[in-house]
Structures are given as C-alpha cells and as structure tokens.
Amino acid sequence: MSRDRWVALIGAIAFSTVAVTYVMGLWITPPDVFQGNLVRLIYVHPAVAWVAYLAYGVTSLSSLAYLWKKTRNYRWDLLAAASAEVGVVFTALTLITGSIWGRPTWGVWWTWDARLTTTALLLVLYLGYLALRRVSEDREQRAKRSAVAALIAFIDVPIVHQSVVWWKTLHQSATVFNADLNPKIHGEMAWTLLLGFLSFTFVYLWMVIKRYDIANAQFNMENQSVERAIKERVGTA
Amino acid sequence: MNGFVEAGYAAVAAGLGSYSIWLTAKSKKLRTVVVPVKGDDINPRKEPD
C-alpha cells in the first residue's frame, strides 16, 4: 500500500473513531451521580489534553535528535515544528473545553488555578516557540535555537500534570493516571474515555503527518529555488 | 442536555475540523506546485551535437 493510502487510512480511522466517541459521549453513556450531564465533557477534555502532552513530547524528542550530532538532520527540525503546531491546537482546545466545564461547575469561565495557569503558560511557551521559528532567516541557526527552546518549554509539561498534586487546586485530580494507578471511572464510561484517548491520538497522527509533509514540501521548494538561483548565477557569469 | 456539553463538543469539532480543512487545502495546493508534470523538465539536458 502506498504512503498516501496509509495516511488516508489513518485519517479515516481517526475521524470515524472520533464520531463514535461523540455518539457514545453524548447519547450512550449515562449521566454522573454528582456532575449530571456535565461528565460527558470528560470524554473529550482529558483526551485533547493528553494529545497536547504527546505532541510536545514528540517535539522534544525530535529536537533532541536534531541537537545530537550523530542524528542531526533537518527532517527532525521539521517534525518538531509540525508536532508543536498540532500541540498548540490541542492545548487551545484543552483550555476552551476546560473553561466550558468550569463555568457551570465553579461558576467562572476562568480562575488563576495552578492547573489552568500552567496550561495557559504551556500554550504561551509553544506559541513563543512557533514565533521564534519565524525570527531567524538562517536555517541552521533557526533549527538549533528552536530545538533548545522546545526543550526548555517541555519543562512545563510535567508541572502541568503534577499541578493538581503539588498545589491545592480547584481542578479535580487525575481520573485514570493518578498516583495509585487506580481509575475512578468504570464500565462504559471508562471504555468511552479510552476510545476518546485513542481516537484523538489517531487525529494527532494524521495531522502531524500532513503538517510534516507540507513543511517538507516547502523545504524542498526552498532548496530547489536556491539551486536554480545558483545555476542561473553560474550560467550568466 | 445543558448547552455547556454541546458547546464543548462543538468547540472541539470546530477547532479540529477547521485545522484539518486548512491542512488538506494547503497540501493539495503544494502538491500541484511541487509534483513535476511528466515531460516538463525544469533543467532539460542538452542533446549532444
């Protein structure tokens, strides 16, 4: 099977499993005893937050691969940037869905709670990373600076995750990945939550492949235009 | 339900949907620019005299 078909297959799996998650989350699963129908947001909110962590993890590993001389290649830099951009989309959605859940639960759209603040900081850090990529014209300098910035920004990821443990926060503690690894959710609610995690991971995979392909095509175009310009100069000299 | 749940799901669908559309449109546009057309050589080799 060709690469294009694989990508199309991943896309089809991603969007069909998201559709199933939506049906399960909105209509099949029961309301919660305490939260009522609001619990349905749990099938999307933690899943998009997980994908943001995953995206920044991939950005960090790719940045490390670029910085390490043995594996240095511009493809790692392109992958890091592609994953960071997708991560920014998912972080923004994490904040939006969290805010929508917070309004009826806490009575406010936003509060300077540790989890919310560190997540907002995460978004700002990676927006800064993407902005930094547009500053330098020199390709090597841009790649090196961006890789270092990505690694610094990643420090915030474990802080976000542990914020509900380290500080007294309004945000509830982890439902699945808690300290005792004892999930507080069961039955079809747990399966729908798991499906949400899987489906959004597939969406991430599809998006990062597409974004990487775009960056790669632009990279090749830049190379071609530089080569053509050199040939033209040499030809006229 | 209560409006908040629907809004949350709609926000995710709108966010991911619009980004996906942008990705698809951009890659299609680039494909038409980058993929060389058969027989259209940018640097045609000179035939030996």
Q: What is the ipTM of this complex?
A: 0.88
Chains A–B, number of C-beta pairs less than 8 Å apart: 77
- In this prediction, residue A37 carries a pLDDT of 87
Query: How many residues does the structure list for chain B?
Result: 49
Measured between beta carbons, the chain A residues lying within 8 angstroms of B10 are none
Q: What is the pLDDT of residues A98-150, one digit of tens each?
A: 999 999 999 999 999 999 999 999 999 999 999 999 997 788 999 999 999 99
Write the CATH number for A106.
1.20.120
pLDDT of residue A156: 96
Per-residue pLDDT, averaged over A163-183, amounts to 74
Quote the number of domains for chain A.
1
Mean pLDDT of A37-49: 93
Query: Is residue A151 in a domain?
Result: yes
Determine, for residues B34 and A220 on separate chains, whether the beta-carbon distance falls below 8 Å: yes
| Residue A52 resides in a domain | yes
pLDDT value, residue A138: 87
**Burial class of residue A185 (count of CB atoms within 10 Å of its CB; 0-12, 13-18, 19+):** middle
The string over A157-166, giving b where at least 16 C-beta atoms fall within 10 Å of a residue's C-beta and e elsewhere, is beebbebbee
The pLDDT of residue A180:
64
Interface residue ranges in chain A relative to chain B, Cβ cutoff 8 Å: 18, 22, 25-26, 36-38, 40-41, 44-45, 48, 86, 89, 92-93, 96-97, 100-101, 103-104, 203, 206-207, 210-211, 213-214, 217-218, 220-221, 224, 228, 231
Q: A96 vs B5: CB contact, 8 Å cut-off?
A: no
Is A234 among the domain residues?
no
- As a whole-number percent, the residues of chain A with pLDDT over 90 amount to 71
In a domain? residue A108 = yes
Per cent of chain A over pLDDT 70 is: 95
CB contact under 8 A, A104 and B4: yes
Closest-CA distance, B18 to chain A, in angstroms, reads 10
Q: Hey, of A206, A210, A216, A226, which one would you mutate to test binding to chain B, going by the most B CBs within 10 A of its CB?
A: A210
In the prediction, which pLDDT does B42 show? 46
- The pLDDT of residue A181 is 61
List chain A residues with CB under 8 Å of B24. Answer: 210
Enclosing domain of residue A80:
3-175+183-220
Average pLDDT in the A206-216 region?
96
Residue segments in chain B with a per-residue pLDDT below the cut of 70: 34-49
Q: Is A38 within 8 Å of B19 when comparing Cβ atoms?
A: no
- pLDDT of A93 > 70? The answer is yes
Asked if residue A35 belongs to a domain, the reply is yes
A175/A182 Cα distance (integer angstroms): 8
Average pLDDT, chain A: 91
Task: Report if residue A150 sits inside a domain.
Answer: yes
DSSP class of A29: S
User: How much is the pLDDT for B40?
Assistant: 47
CB contact under 8 A, B12 and A101: no
> How many residues are recorded in chain A?
237
pLDDT of residue A23: 95
The answer to whether residue A230 sits within a structural domain is: no
For the residues A52-80, what does the mean pLDDT come to?
96
- The per-residue pLDDT for A237 is 58
pLDDT of residue A40: 93
In a domain, residue A232? The reply is no
Residue A166, pLDDT > 70, answer yes
The CA angle A107-A21-B24, to the nearest 5 degrees, is: 100
8 A C-beta contact, residue A26 and residue A195: no
pTM: 0.88
pLDDT for position A36: 86
pLDDT at position A46 is 94
